[in-house]
Structure 1
Amino acid sequence: MLSVTEAEAIIFNLVQPLNNQYDTEIVDLFAADSRILASVVTSQLDFPHWDNSAMDGYAVRYADVQQATQQQPAILEIIEEIPAGYQPQSTIQKGQAARIFTGAVMPAGADTVIMQEYTQREENRVLILTPPTKPQEFVRQRAAYYQSGTQLLPPGIMLHGSEIAVLATAQCTQVSVYRRPRVAIFSTGNELVAPDQPLQPGQIVDSNQYALAALVRQSGGEPLILGIVPDEPGVLEKAIAYAVSNADIVISSGGVSVGDYDYVEQIVKFLEGKIHIQAVAMKPGKPLTVATFRNQVIYFGLPGNPASTLVTFWRFVQPTIKKLSGLVEGWQPKFIKASTRQELRSDGKRETYIWGKLDLQNGIYKFHLAGGNQSSGNLINLAQTNALAVLSVGQTLVSPGEKVQVLLN
């Protein structure tokens, strides 16, 4: 049985990110949110596009106003008014100024902007009452933020509002992004029924497919739902073979323990899959199968208990999907230290994951233990949780107020 650290290293080393030549697609900028950029973006525009004013005020020559005071103001003739979006028509000469507004193009001859609060206007003249601290004050210089032809955005980043704003400003209305990884999902077990079916004695509603499909989407993947597969070797073999042929990642839940009806591992071997992991020293989530196939498909056989399924997904599968998707940074599991509000216990035999809620109080992260039984079969108290406290092997107690490592979901 592998440690969690050993299992993590094996799994993440198996992941080969999507190819930036063949695994890409072009999307409209409105559809680019949360997609992974596949190629370098450059622009033929400088940012700012031209010298412009950072304030409402007056465009002047620094030499004319550097000695101005309230007692002896510099008096300048106003020769033009320049609102945003207007192309200046005049050149500022000695003793002249232009009324200018934020974002407006600087007129030729001017090199500095005086805030209107430091001036006094008298008809077509302006009195400069306070000198600028330096030349080019309140002037945004052309190409100060970005020079045309250089890298604007690197590949391998996730696009959100700020990046999309940059792309729009660069007039890049279509972008090359990685396709979403295809993730096949199915549940195994004769006892399972779909949520819309009548529940008979001894049967269990299959929640895992629905939870996994949602988590796959949140991780940037595209779920391929294959339904419930009974514990029949022939049917299970067809399901796994289909999934491996049509997805980048396959996730099954159930059928990976040591019961008489647990056939997943033997079928994976029959289909020439190479098994890398069969069990991990973690609680919940010990019965975990990880395999690869010749077409580089990664197979995750997750345990069937709902909490075990979700914990192993958050710990191993979610980072796998993110890395496969082309994300260069930030795909790894995220851990922080938090102060626990309640006592946390473990038998210390395996790395233990305890679900709860993390929030920030007075600058300190606090972990709140989820109420109720922390059984791997108790799905109910997982609702509204967002973090997992992690107790290492040999750690049996974390007292209230003590720090604990927390995995963010």
Structure 2
Amino acid sequence: MLLVKDAEAIIFNLLQPLDQKQDIEVVDLLNGHNRILANPVISRLDFPHWDNSAMDGFAVRYGDVKEARAENPIILEVVEEIPAGYQPKITIQPGQAARIFTGAVMPAGADTVVMQERTRWEENRVFILAAPQFQEFVRHQGDFYQGGNELLPSGTRLTATEIAVLGAVQCNKLSVFRRLRVAIFSTGDELVTPEQSLQPGQIVDSNQLALAALVRELGGEPLMLGIVKDDPKALGEIIQYAIAHADLVLSSGGVSVGDYDYIDGILASLGAEIHFRAVQMRPGKPLTFATFPNVLYFGLPGNPVSALVSFWRFVQPTIKRLSGITEGYKPMWMKVRSRSELKSNGKLETYICGKLHLIDGVYEFHQAGGNHSSGNLINLTQTNALAILPVGTTLVSPQQEVLILALRY
């Protein structure tokens, strides 16, 4: 049974991201959300595209107004009004100013903007009541980005902010990695779908739904293969199908040491290299990680909490890295104050579900209520963090610091 950090190291050392030449698609900007850039983005445009005003006010020559005071205002002739989207036609001469609005192009000859609150305007004259700083409220062309340089590196996940930036510099076609294909199935004679009527001893298969949703959140393409009975022949057929059609396979159940836990034996018979079968953690100890050529296989435990904790700890960073993300794919750890008393038997690295709150500027972890059985799926509702108690730690008292794993990063 491996230490958690050793299991993680084995997985990360085997990750081979999608190929930057073979595994790419070209999509338009509107379809780029949540995709991963396969190539760097370089725009021809500067940003801002031209010198423009950052304030409603008056475009002036600094030399004309640098001595302005409320008791001794400088009076300038207003020769043009420049709203946003208008191309100035007049060059500002000594003793002149232009009325200008936020975002509007700076006129030739002007180098500074005086905000309107520091002026008094009468007909075609403006009284400058306070001296501005040189080039105050002027956004210069290329201040934020200069065309021809790298704007976004490959491996960037495109969120709303990146989409906005790409739109602003007119990058309308994007080279992105194809979506990672993830096959998912659940095992067990006791499982039924949410649509079926429950009979005594049966359990609704929630794992497949949760895993598919998590894969979608990460930008992957789930291939849902349904429920497979505890039958070696049926399991072998579905695993062969999965490894032929996916980059990554997730099964839940069938990886413990019971009489009906067939997954490991079937994987070995199909030629998989099994790297480990158990991890020193709770929940989630029975965890199989295996590889086929070009395919990774995670055999997750069947209990819902165990399956999801295993996913968050190992599968989530795996999917991020395989998808082409180059930075920020590893688990995000934080040390925060616990508001709850956290307990463990100290024998296994223990993961406790709960919520991370920001209270008075300090992050605090609140343990989920209820029974902390690995079968208590209800406890995971609104969970956004897991507290980790290392091997040998049996108690974290309220107000003590605890290491947590943030689940959405």
Write the distance in 2 (CA, Å) between the matches of 1:85 and 1:4.
58
Q: What's the secondary structure of 2:154's corresponding residue?
A: coil
The residue aligned with 1:168 is 167
1:129-140 superposed matches below 5 A? 129-134=129-134, 136-140=135-139
1:111-190 superposed matches below 5 A? 111-134=111-134, 136-190=135-189
Q: What's the secondary structure of 1:278's corresponding residue?
A: strand
Instruction: For residue 127 of structure 1, report the CA deviation from its aligned partner.
Output: 2.0
Letter in 1 for 2:283: P
The residue aligned with 2:74 is 74
1:8 pairs with 2:19: no
The residue aligned with 2:370 is 372
1:346-385 superposed matches below 5 A? 346-385=344-383
Write the distance in 1 (CA, Å) between the matches of 2:26 and 2:240.
30
Instruction: For residue 74 of structure 1, report the CA deviation from its aligned partner.
Output: 2.1
Write the distance in 2 (CA, Å) between the matches of 1:54 and 1:328.
36
The residue aligned with 1:109 is 109
The C-alpha deviation readout for 1:223-280, integer Å capped at 9, x for no partner, is 1000111111111111001100100100011111111221111111111110111111
Further displaced range: 70-79 or 108-117: 70-79
Write the distance in 1 (CA, Å) between the matches of 2:47 and 2:380.
48
Instruction: For residue 174 of structure 1, report the CA deviation from its aligned partner.
Output: 2.4
Q: What's the secondary structure of 1:114's corresponding residue?
A: strand
The residue aligned with 2:220 is 221
Consecutive unaligned residues of structure 2, counting only runs of 5 or more, are none
Write the distance in 2 (CA, Å) between the matches of 1:199 and 1:95.
86
1:288 pairs with 2:287: yes
Further displaced range: 147-156 or 60-69: 60-69
The residue aligned with 2:20 is 20
Letter in 1 for 2:92: I
Instruction: For residue 142 of structure 1, report the CA deviation from its aligned partner.
Output: 1.1
Letter in 2 for 1:114: V
Write the distance in 2 (CA, Å) between the matches of 1:132 and 1:367.
49
CA gap 1:331/1:131 in 2 versus in 1, 3 angstroms: same
Further displaced range: 380-389 or 346-355: 380-389
Q: What's the secondary structure of 2:278's corresponding residue?
A: coil
Instruction: For residue 301 of structure 1, report the CA deviation from its aligned partner.
Output: 0.5
The residue aligned with 1:197 is 196
The C-alpha deviation readout for 1:274-316, integer Å capped at 9, x for no partner, is 011111111111111000111x210000111111111101110
TM-score (ref. length: structure 2):
0.96
1:322 pairs with 2:309: no
1:301-312 superposed matches below 5 A? 301-312=299-310
The C-alpha deviation readout for 1:81-112, integer Å capped at 9, x for no partner, is 11111111111112221111111111111111
The residue aligned with 1:240 is 239
The residue aligned with 1:60 is 60
Q: What's the secondary structure of 1:68's corresponding residue?
A: coil
The C-alpha deviation readout for 1:324-344, integer Å capped at 9, x for no partner, is 111111111112122222221
Matched residue count: 407
Write the distance in 1 (CA, Å) between the matches of 2:226 and 2:377.
20
TM-score (ref. length: structure 1):
0.96
Q: Identical aligned pairs, as a percentage?
A: 66
The C-alpha deviation readout for 1:163-220, integer Å capped at 9, x for no partner, is 1111111112221211111110011112222221222222222111111111111122
Instruction: For residue 323 of structure 1, report the CA deviation from its aligned partner.
Output: 0.9
Letter in 2 for 1:92: I
Letter in 2 for 1:388: L
What is the CA RMSD across the aligned residues, in angstroms?
A: 1.3
The residue aligned with 1:274 is 273
Consecutive unaligned residues of structure 1, counting only runs of 5 or more, are none
Moved over 3 A (4+): none
The residue aligned with 1:406 is 404
